[in-house]
Amino acid sequence: MVPKMIKELFTIKKLDLSLAIFIGALLVSLIGSMRYSDPLKMVGFPEQPPSREFPLGTDSWGRDLLALLLNGIKNSVYIGATAAAIAWIIGVAIGVISGLRDGLTDEVLMLITNIVLVLPSILIMMLIAAYLKERNTFFVSLVIGLTSWPWVARAVRSQVMSLKEREFIQMSKMAGLNETKIILEDILPNMASYLFMTFVLLMSGAMIAEAGLSMIGLGLTRGVSLGIILYWAQTLDSVRRGIWWWFIPPGLCLVLLTTSLLLLSTALDEYFNPRLKGG
Amino acid sequence: MLLSVDNLTKIFTVGLLRKKEIVAVRDVSFQVDSGKFVSLVGESGSGKTTTAKMILKLIQPTSGKIFFEGKDVTMLNKYQDLKEYWSKVHGIFQDPYASFNPLQKVDRVLYQVFGLIKDQNVDRDKTVREALKEVGLNPEEVLGKYPHELSGGQRQRIMVARCYLIKPKLIVADEPVSMIDASTREGVIQLLSNLRDEYKTSVIFITHDLGLAYYVSDEMLIMYKGQVVERGSPDEVMDHPSSEYTKRLKADIPLLYRKWEGF
Amino acid sequence: MILLSAENVRAYYFLPQGVVKAVDGINLSLEKGITLGLAGESGCGKSTLVNTLLGSIKPPLRLVEGKILLDGKEISKMNISKLKKDVWGVEVSLVPQSALNALMPTKKVIDFIKDALVQHKKFSDSEILSLAKKRFEELNLDVKALYMFPHELSGGMRQRVVIAISTLLNPKLLIVDEPTSALDVSSQKQVLRTLLDLKKSGIIQSMIFVTHDIAVLRQIADKIGIMYAGKLVELSSTDNILYNPKHPYTVGLINAIVTPEPEVKRRKIMSIPGQPPNLLNPPSGCRFHTRCKFAMDICLHKEPPLLEVEGDTLVACHLFSSSKGG
């Protein structure tokens, strides 16, 4: 079942392309960050344009921008994936429970979801930033993850609510299967498309959120990410001063990565939907 | 008397702020004896499927009572009690495709009911194969396949095979043959009759097809807008209908041996 | 006078997994003034045949062989834009399955009519309105429906409205595909009445009614054609099909019908064992041989041709082809 799925998946061009771009970028960054293990080291003259020694030039502190970029990609993807995982687990869990239960449980969970939905996450992060002086990649992931799950919970809940009316679920119920088994065997597998897509979308959203947070100074305090590079670039007025090799590469990478993820999600949608119809 | 349904009512409330009430089933009462086919006949919106789901304990009634084998089962909600109930009262639904998890092999709907059977030492594979043969299916052709690889008739027969495994006292069949080709319907109905003849299984046969109900039932109940408007033996209901609705239904059904006036 | 003829029509679906021979060698002719019922069960190809008869052939469907003539004109050779302008709605109209759900939910009925007619001729708004009103009155449809939205009408009413709209320009032939399957019996009767009125008043000349419900055909069709696995297996008058069916499949089909009549209860309903074949890989010879209790050796190897027997009945079965000096 699974191998066949993967084989069919790869017949979709969009999927090949988007996966190739994303994994390609990730691999390059992983290898690169091993080679350039200390990107924050001062290695050359400040604000030098790209040269043979430094393919992406240097920033105001004389640091190698290529090294910064490669490490930045790695960390941004890490934050994206971790935040997505956190939000996904919370959102799916709440969505499934809320979808299956009527009455009080459902209402309470939806109330919580709605509250978190309207909370301005920027405000929360500013408050937290005020208290915590040190923010590492995991922490940033946590903050983003804990504030971006509500739409997942709602989407999953409505899918579950429509699925649970389907006859095969009722057949499983009458066979005496307990709720956990029904969730794992009947409900979740038949929502696979949703589950994949929400993860991919969460990831791309999280990477952008990280960039946004970092650019207002609430992101990482230690380490480098695409957002942090952009933050420094902006703080040191690189746009006006024409230091294009500072802000264009990270911006481009961010766009490339998130776009490939979005493309991936549409490819997944395309794959899953005809199957659902044709099956 | 196997099943007794007394004044069953189901009201659905829709809407958040301005709540609207939909009375799906209103004051429905009837009884089913052992080894009898009782039909609930009605068109869409008549409440017949909601009634079926209440008897199958998939929906809670708003009011009224359900007695099974003399016990009040209306409020049954403990896991163990429900399992016991479903080993004696089981359902077959209309859509033979939707009754299967599309991602799993069809074997699953059969093997999963062993949790309901008392005798845990039975040879499962052998029992499943025998049940499939009882319903006229070749186990080699059917086991290991996915739902979309089989025809509607085959899938519905597997559902009946599932009942052969459980041997319930009562089967609630909601439009069991309406999504199967007409030329293969009788085969499935015959299987339900066999269950009745061999094991005294009763069947609540739910359908919109008056002709089918007339052919198959011992007793017919006609439902309209949530209520039972007519009941009796098939001959009584068809030869001497008392309600306007039944008379209208009768007049509007296309017949084989008679032509409509003015057509 | 022949209105529509299909000669040796073969239309296949070319799919990645293989070729589905949905319509495989159909010969059919429809006279003016006749209502032909096309009956068959799942996978028999009747809906594909209907689209083919109209010339509505889009990939992966392809017309592999044969021609279709409507009133002498070769439909099978026309391109889609010519068909849309001059043929569909004008000479022949199709009311497809679930047409009652195809009405744009945000448009009133009269606006939908305007959009539909504009494709063929330049009508003024008032012309359209008077044409629509007149037609609705002729068919006993409430004229108020013209100003309503589709969801404000009942299922049966919507179907009758769709039928009225598709025949506004008086096409010679109307094809309806399962027009009443989703309706309750009373709405069904009304729709059938509307179809009959269309014919009686001369608005249409002939009709093809596609359905799996033979009891409905009994009430409305003059002739019935039985399809099985992409082939036409029997074609005769309604009475012949009902009371004197020849092809074993037809016999099985008739015996499986359940109506609340004492005759049916007496003769007992029967079923045909097995299921219709997969058209990716149909059985050799006669496609019904795997389920036929009269199957002979020749049935496995040779496809029976559609031959005329006993006056006006066409059957494709070796039980009968030998009697005509094979």
Q: What is the CATH number of the domain that holds C206?
A: 3.40.50.300
Q: Between chains, do B259 and C42 touch, taking CB under 8 Å as contact?
A: no
Q: Give the DSSP H or E segment for C236.
A: strand C231-237
Class of residue B20 by CB neighbours under 10 A (exposed 0-12, middle 13-18, buried 19+): exposed
Separation in Å, CA B149 to CA A163, B155, C272:
22, 10, 20
User: What is the tens place of the pLDDT at every residue in A174-215?
Assistant: 998 988 999 999 999 888 888 988 999 999 999 998 998 888
Q: Considering only the beta carbons, identify the residue of B93, B103, B148 that sits closest to A167.
A: B93
| Mutation choice for B interface testing from A167, A179, A187 by most B CBs within 10 A | A167
CA distance C23 to C287: 13
CA distance C36 to B253: 21
Q: How high is the ipTM of this complex?
A: 0.88
User: What is the tens place of the pLDDT at every residue in B45-81?
Assistant: 889 999 999 999 998 999 999 999 999 999 888 888 9
Amino acid at A198: T
User: What is the tens place of the pLDDT at every residue in C249-261?
Assistant: 999 999 999 888 8
User: What is the reported pLDDT for A7?
Assistant: 64
Q: Between chains, do B102 and A190 touch, taking CB under 8 Å as contact?
A: yes
Structure tokens at B235: 């001959």
Identify the structural domains of chain A with CATH numbers, from first to last: 33-45+55-278 (1.10.3720.10)
CA distance C131 to B94: 43
Task: Tell me the percentage of chain B whose pLDDT exceeds 70.
Answer: 99
Q: Between chains, do A168 and B99 touch, taking CB under 8 Å as contact?
A: yes
User: What is the tens place of the pLDDT at every residue in C114-143?
Assistant: 888 887 777 888 888 898 999 999 888 989
User: What is the reported pLDDT for A278?
Assistant: 40
Residue B39 near residue B205, CB atoms below 8 Å? yes
DSSP line for C88-146 = BTTTEEEE-TTGGG-S-TTS-HHHHHHHHHHTTS---HHHHHHHHHHHHHHTT--GGGG
User: What is the reported pLDDT for B16?
Assistant: 65
- Say yes or no to pLDDT of C326 above 50: no
Helix segments in chain B, DSSP class H:
48-55, 79-86, 107-111, 124-134, 139-142, 152-166, 182-199, 210-216, 234-239, 244-252
Chain A residue nearest residue B57, CA to CA: A174
Q: Considering only the beta carbons, identify the residue of B136, B210, B215 that sits closest to C265.
A: B215
Q: Which of A29, A43, A38, A84 is closest to A250 using CA atoms?
A: A29
Q: Between chains, do B101 and A168 touch, taking CB under 8 Å as contact?
A: yes
Residues of C in contact with B258 (CB under 8 A): 261
Domain range enclosing C302: 2-324
Q: Which residues of B touch C (CB under 8 A)?
A: 43-44, 136, 151-154, 181-187, 190, 208-215, 238, 248-250, 252-260, 263
Class of residue A6 by CB neighbours under 10 A (exposed 0-12, middle 13-18, buried 19+): exposed
User: What is the tens place of the pLDDT at every residue in C283-317?
Assistant: 889 999 999 999 899 999 999 988 888 878 999 99
User: What is the reported pLDDT for A10?
Assistant: 64
Overall average pLDDT of the C44-60 stretch: 89
- Say yes or no to pLDDT of B221 above 90: yes
Separation in Å, CA A152 to CA A88, A92, A110, A198, A262:
7, 7, 12, 7, 16
CA distance B201 to B88: 10
User: What is the reported pLDDT for A6?
Assistant: 64
Q: What is the mean pLDDT of chain C?
A: 89
Beta-carbon contacts of residue C75 (< 8 Å; ≥ 6 apart): C53, C54, C55, C68, C69, C83, C87
* Domains in chain C, number: 1
Query: Between chain A and chain B, how many beta carbons pairs sit less than 8 Å apart?
Result: 57
Query: Strand order in B20-32's β-sheet?
Result: B20-32, B3-14, B63-68, B71-72
- Say yes or no to pLDDT of A277 above 50: no
Chains that touch A (3 or more CB pairs under 8 A): B
Of A262 and C322, the structure prediction assigns the larger pLDDT to: A262
User: What is the reported pLDDT for C189?
Assistant: 92
User: What is the tens place of the pLDDT at every residue in C65-116?
Assistant: 999 999 888 888 888 888 888 888 889 999 988 777 778 888 898 888 888 8
Identify the structural domains of chain B with CATH numbers, from first to last: 3-252 (3.40.50.300)
B30-B33-B36 Cα angle (round to 5): 105
User: What is the reported pLDDT for A279?
Assistant: 35
Task: Tell me the percentage of chain C whose pLDDT exceeds 90.
Answer: 43
User: What is the reported pLDDT for C324?
Assistant: 43
Chain B residue nearest residue A174, CA to CA: B86
User: What is the tens place of the pLDDT at every residue in A43-60?
Assistant: 888 888 888 888 888 888
Class of residue A169 by CB neighbours under 10 A (exposed 0-12, middle 13-18, buried 19+): buried
Residues of A in contact with B103 (CB under 8 A): 1, 189-190
User: What is the reported pLDDT for A4?
Assistant: 60
CA distance C88 to C80: 10
Q: Which of A266-275, B37-46, C269-278 bottoms out in mean pLDDT, i.e. has the lowest?
A: A266-275
Q: Considering only the beta carbons, identify the residue of C196, C259, C276 that sits closest to B255.
A: C259
Q: Considering only the beta carbons, identify the residue of B208, B210, B256 that sits closest to C257.
A: B256
Q: Which of B186, B211, B180 is closest to C270 using CA atoms?
A: B186
Separation in Å, CA B254 to CA B245, C163, C201:
16, 20, 23
Amino acid at C142: D
Overall average pLDDT of the C217-226 stretch: 94
CA distance C28 to C306: 10
CA distance C236 to C321: 16
Q: Considering only the beta carbons, identify the residue of A168, A175, A185 that sits closest to B115.
A: A175
Name the pTM for this structure: 0.83
User: What is the tens place of the pLDDT at every residue in B76-112?
Assistant: 888 889 999 999 999 999 888 889 998 899 999 999 9
- Say yes or no to pLDDT of A24 above 80: yes
